[in-house]
Every structure is written in C-alpha cells, then in structure tokens.
Amino acid sequence: MFTGSLVALVTPFADGEVDFETLRELVNFQINSGTDGLVPVGTTGESPTLTPEEHKEVIRTVVEETRHRVPVIAGAGANSTAEAIELASYAKAVGADATLQVTPYYNKPTQEGLYQHFAAIANEVDLPVVLYNIPGRCVVNIDPATIIRLAALENIVAVKEATGKLDQASEIAISTNLTLLSGDDSLTLPIASVGGKGVISVVANIVPNDVKAMTDAILEGDFATARKWHNKLFSLSNAMLNLATNPIPIKAAMAELKLCSEELRLPMVPLEDGAREKLRTALADYGLL
C-alpha cells in the first residue's frame, strides 16, 4: 500500500501562521501529478515548530483535502511516547491511513527503549506504522536487530531508511517483510537495488512527475529507465538536502517556482545568498527556470 513516490509535504506559512489554503493547493498539485501518497508533518513539514493544535490541524486538512484519493501517512512522532500515541490516535480519528513514527530525539533511548516506544504506539493505536530512522537528526540509530523485532508486530508495516547505510537497508530487506522506503532522494535507486519499494521524497515537492516516473520504473523492475531518472534527479536532489538544512532549500525552491512562500519559523532561517545562487543554478540546469 505504501510504495512508490510518497511526498514529504512542506507546511506553508503566511505571516507567521500556517497557510491552509496553500496547503490544500499543494495536496491537489501532488495528487494531480500522480504522487502515490502524502506524508505531512514530518521533518520537511517543520513539525518541531508547529504547536500541537497546528500539527493536528495540518493532518486533518491534508486528510480532508485528499479525500481518499491516495494514502496519507501522517507524521505523528515525538520524543514522548505518550505524545506520539496521542498524535497517532488523532490521525486515526480523522482518517489518516498510517502514521510516520520518527526515532525519539534528544532523550537518546537505548535499543530496548526504542523497541518499547514503537511497540507501545503500535499496540495502542490500530493504525499502520511507518518507522522513520534518521540518526543524523535524532542521534540514535534504530539498529537492524531492533527493527527485526518490531517487524513482528502486526501494525508495523514499513521503514523509512534515512541512515545512508546500504548494509542496514539490506539487512532489513533480507530479514523482514517490512516495506523498505528510502529517506534520501539521492539513494532511492541504490536502496531499490537491495529491495526498496520507493521513497518519502523531498524533491517531489517540486518535480513530482519525475520522482513518480523513477519509482514506477523501479516497481516495474526496469532499472535501466530508473537509472536514467536517477541521473537526471541526482544533482537537484542533492541541492535540496546539501545547500542548507532541510526544509530551507526546498522552501526556497518552491518560492522560486511560485508554489508557496519561502517563510520558515525560527530557528530555521532563509537560504543564504551564496547558496541561493547555487539553488537557482540547479533549478535552471534542471529546466525549471
């Protein structure tokens, strides 16, 4: 169910407030472009700076506007297990199809703590869970042995691998029935080579058709075509993640393309001038400007 091109939606702002009108427009832009699923309120959706009320309203708005046309995997993670359960329960109540559960951040749990955290969510809320493993932002890696344990739980169905480690992705693919999804656009094809079934994508915010074309080729087993799309997307994907911390570059790119405001919330700040020129060059080289 959760395969292909799944977009990590930005959360648009206007004058300090969530711009729900533009959010609805972005939902329809993605669905009309063939995107296979929507993932609001994750890293790209700036979940750390949303209030709990805003977080819930973004989930509700995306689910409502999607109208069951594609799955919605709602970001509902937290470094408090009780808070994650509350968010997951809300996501279920408003009709989300699954939740994205990020590794608890800052409090640095042990592997047993990670297991107990995700197991509690999966057991408490009857909704599919996509694990989100991103140690670069959360400090702690969910070790493959822990993921293998978690895979035995019925509601845990997939993992978003953003470790950059193909060995880890391979071990998960070999040892579990979880759907393996790339958490880095530049690694979608390499992860597919060891069993990945798609991506939760940042760059799909601006080129959804192209990411969809690549993941369609992957799912069809046409790796020659997928490699052509990978080669085309590679430099643009790297620019979105390497010019500054995500989602600073993607929001700047979306502003250039008139998709939404560049506005962020502190401590995120706009792209610096030197990086902005590199971004424009990347967009122009891709044919977007």
pTM (predicted TM-score): 0.97
The domain defined by 4-219 carries CATH number 3.20.20.70:
yes
Give the β-pairing of 129-133 and 156-161: parallel
Annotation says 132 is catalytic: yes
Helices and strands, counts by H and E, the chain:
12, 10
Q: What pLDDT shows up at residue 1?
A: 80
Annotation says 160 is catalytic: yes
Q: For residue range 158-195, what is the model confidence (pLDDT) as tens digits?
A: 999 999 999 999 999 999 999 999 999 999 999 999 99
Does 48 have pLDDT greater than 90?
Answer: yes
At 37, the amino acid letter reads G
Every domain of the chain and the residues it spans: 4-219
Q: For residue range 251-289, what is the model confidence (pLDDT) as tens digits?
A: 999 999 999 999 999 999 999 999 999 999 999 999 999
Kindly state the DSSP code that residue 164 receives in the 8-state scheme. -
Q: What pLDDT shows up at residue 219?
A: 98
Active-site annotation holder among 115, 132, 197, 286: 132
Q: Residue length, the chain?
A: 289
Q: How confident is the model at residue 248 (pLDDT cuts 50, 70, 90)?
A: very high
Angle at 191 between CA 186 and CA 195, to 5 degrees: 155
Q: For residue range 103-151, what is the model confidence (pLDDT) as tens digits?
A: 999 999 999 999 999 999 999 999 999 999 999 999 999 999 999 999 9
Active-site annotation holder among 56, 92, 160, 197: 160
3-class secondary structure for 119-154? HHHHHHCCCCEEEEECHHHHCCCCCHHHHHHHCCCC
